[in-house]
Amino acid sequence: MSEENLLFFSEEWVKRFVEELNKNQSYFEAAKNWEGDFLFIVNTGPKIKSEIVVYLDLWHGKCRDYKLLPDRSAKKTEFIFEGPYDSWEKLAKGQLDPVKALLMRKFKLSGSMSKLMKNVKAASEMAKNCSRVPTKFL
Amino acid sequence: MWEFTSPKKIVFGEEALEYLKEIEGKKALVITGKTVRKLGFAEKVSKYLEEARIQAEIFDEVEPEPSIETIVEGAKLARDYNPDWLIGLGGGSNMDAAKAIWALYERPDIEVGAISPVEKLGLRKKAHLICIPTTSGSGSEATWATIITDSSSKTKLELASKELVPDIVILDPQLPKSMPPRLTADTGMDALVHSMEAYVNQWRNDFSDAMAIKAIKIIFEYLPRAYENPDDIEAREKMHIAATMSGLAFGNAQAGIAHSMGHALGATFKIPHGRTVGMLLPYVIKYSAKEAAGRYAEIARAIGIEAVTDEECVEELAQAVRALMKKVDLPLCAKDMGLDWETFTGELDELVSRAIVSSESITNPRVPDEEECKKLFTCAFNGEEVDF
């Protein structure tokens, strides 16, 4: 029986994404020295009426905590990674890599780029983790 | 959207240094190291600047693999002296230092680590940057990167901002003529690896391709000549141009795993950068060809290899690189660099973990996992064929 696809960035999708991330050995190896929390934000646009804000507490190769938040002011984090829905979709489909996406200004980063650049493999493995979640897009 | 970033002007050919007589301004700070100063190049630059009625000050404290402390010291001098030109003179370290000193001179409110591709630095309000390479390899004169060492944590900060690309690059073939053959070979191989890795990279583009493929052709033809006869001015000029073209290529694409592995190997065992990346290149070609055989075949055909299939081209390209390295007396495997197996294997896990997290590994056409990276290092140590 085929698994039901989860709507990208829905609560169920985020829950599954985190479950998969915490089982993902490649991510664990790449991010084993990482300490830092994120807001992942899907900006408003034609497909998104109000911002989607996801909090992820990433610590030594695992996600310790996550939440869908009502808005970006609900939590102060070390990093904010934000972009439009189409860019997130391309990232999830493996059509964009996270660092190149930043350089292409498809996404905006708040926080230390140099810290992120020392952990590009972790960022890449996290993006790849999306492929482990059966996903449907808007 | 992507973009190709390059210096505004590249002045090249014999007597290119005399271009300095034509620039306009009041004060210039020449940033260099003791070795380059001893060769008399900094004084020559100052003399030409004087002819342009520009007062010159020389900061010659840049060490190989420049530290944050040196950058802070140079920036302080710049703020006291208030130049409208900064001039990076020397190899990659001196030019990298000039870029970082320039950033901190213009932005005294930031620290070195804040230089980032996504931060607007707002440079060029106080000064502009000229880079004058004296070696033919690093490509720093054409890139937006600067590598600075954090002595406290013994790590290298790989910093980048498109604003750091120099305004003017001067390529005078008289300057690299002073390089001894060993340095000519090491830096020339660095340039070859830059261009080959850019040509097959995931971030490659049509502009970087054009720079890379031309540079590769030049290097295969002229590196042996520059090595054998340091006074061959045509070969020196061609290699100087090829190194800058390679910088434009990898600066606008990326380098690959010969660089990420080479950085780890070179830093651990204190081996010159060009020698390590050059030694690794044939192994990396064989490994990466599983995902990029067609691209390597294009390189092979560009340098005149007449094999029929892409796979044959890849094999012959790896052999052509080895043949070039033999011509310039470079080692073909790590054990020929004086490393012993026990010491090497003692560091292997650390080498692998440093290499695979590098951004250069991520954009390689084939991205190695830990096991593959370990096998690649082992093949490169023993001179074994890569068949995985």
| Domain-terminating residue out of B129, B158, B176 | B176
DSSP H helices in chain B: 34-38, 41-51, 68-81, 92-106, 181-200, 206-228, 233-252, 257-269, 273-302, 310-327, 341-356, 359-362, 370-382
| Domain-terminating residue out of B129, B154, B176 | B176
Whether B246 and chain A come into contact, CB under 8 Å, resolves to: no
Predicted local confidence at residue B359, as pLDDT: 84
Dist CA B368 CA A30 (whole Å): 12
Using a CB-CB distance cutoff of 8 angstroms, which residues of chain A are in contact with residue B116? 112-114, 117
Do A52 and A42 meet the contact criterion of CB atoms below 8 Å apart?
yes
The domain that holds B53 is classified in CATH as 3.40.50.1970
User: Same domain for B171 and B239?
Assistant: no
CA end-to-end span of chain B: 35
User: Same domain for B95 and B186?
Assistant: no
Sequence spans of domains, chain A: 6-130
Dist CA A117 CA A103 (whole Å): 12
Name the closest residue on chain B to residue A109, using Cα atoms.
B118
Is B387 part of a structural domain of the chain?
no
User: Same domain for B225 and B307?
Assistant: yes
The radius of gyration of chain B's CA atoms, rounded to the nearest angstrom, is 20
Do B140 and B95 meet the contact criterion of CB atoms below 8 Å apart?
yes
Is B94 part of a structural domain of the chain?
yes
Cβ separation B118–A112 shorter than 8 A? no
Q: How confident is the model at residue A3 (pLDDT cuts 50, 70, 90)?
A: confident
User: Same domain for B184 and B87?
Assistant: no
The ipTM, to two decimals, is 0.72
| Domain-terminating residue out of B176, B200, B233 | B176
CB-nearest partner of A103 from B117, B159, B361: B117
Q: How many domains does chain B have?
A: 2
Interface A-B: count of C-beta contacts within 8 A? 48
Predicted local confidence at residue A1, as pLDDT: 56
Query: Taking chain B (388 residues) in consecutive chunks of 10 residues, what is each chunk's mean pLDDT?
Result: 93 97 97 97 97 98 95 98 98 97 97 88 98 98 94 80 97 97 97 98 96 98 98 98 98 95 91 95 98 98 96 98 98 95 95 88 92 97 96
Using a CB-CB distance cutoff of 8 angstroms, which residues of chain B are in contact with residue A29? 370
A69-128 pLDDT per residue, tens = 999 999 999 999 999 999 999 999 999 888 889 888 899 999 888 788 888 889 999 999
The domain that holds B320 is classified in CATH as 1.20.1090.10
User: Same domain for B243 and B291?
Assistant: yes
Cβ separation B114–A114 shorter than 8 A? yes
**CA–CA min distance B290, chain A (Å):** 20
User: Same domain for B143 and B204?
Assistant: no
Q: What global pTM score does this model have? A: 0.90
Q: Which fold has domain A6-130?
A: Nonspecific Lipid-transfer Protein; Chain A (3.30.1050)
User: Which H or E run includes A74?
Assistant: none
Cβ separation A102–B117 shorter than 8 A? yes
User: Same domain for B289 and B345?
Assistant: yes
Dist CA B115 CA B358 (whole Å): 18
Q: CA-based angle A56:A62:A65, to the nearest 5? A: 35
Using a CB-CB distance cutoff of 8 angstroms, which residues of chain B are in contact with residue A102? 117-118
Domain housing B40: 9-176
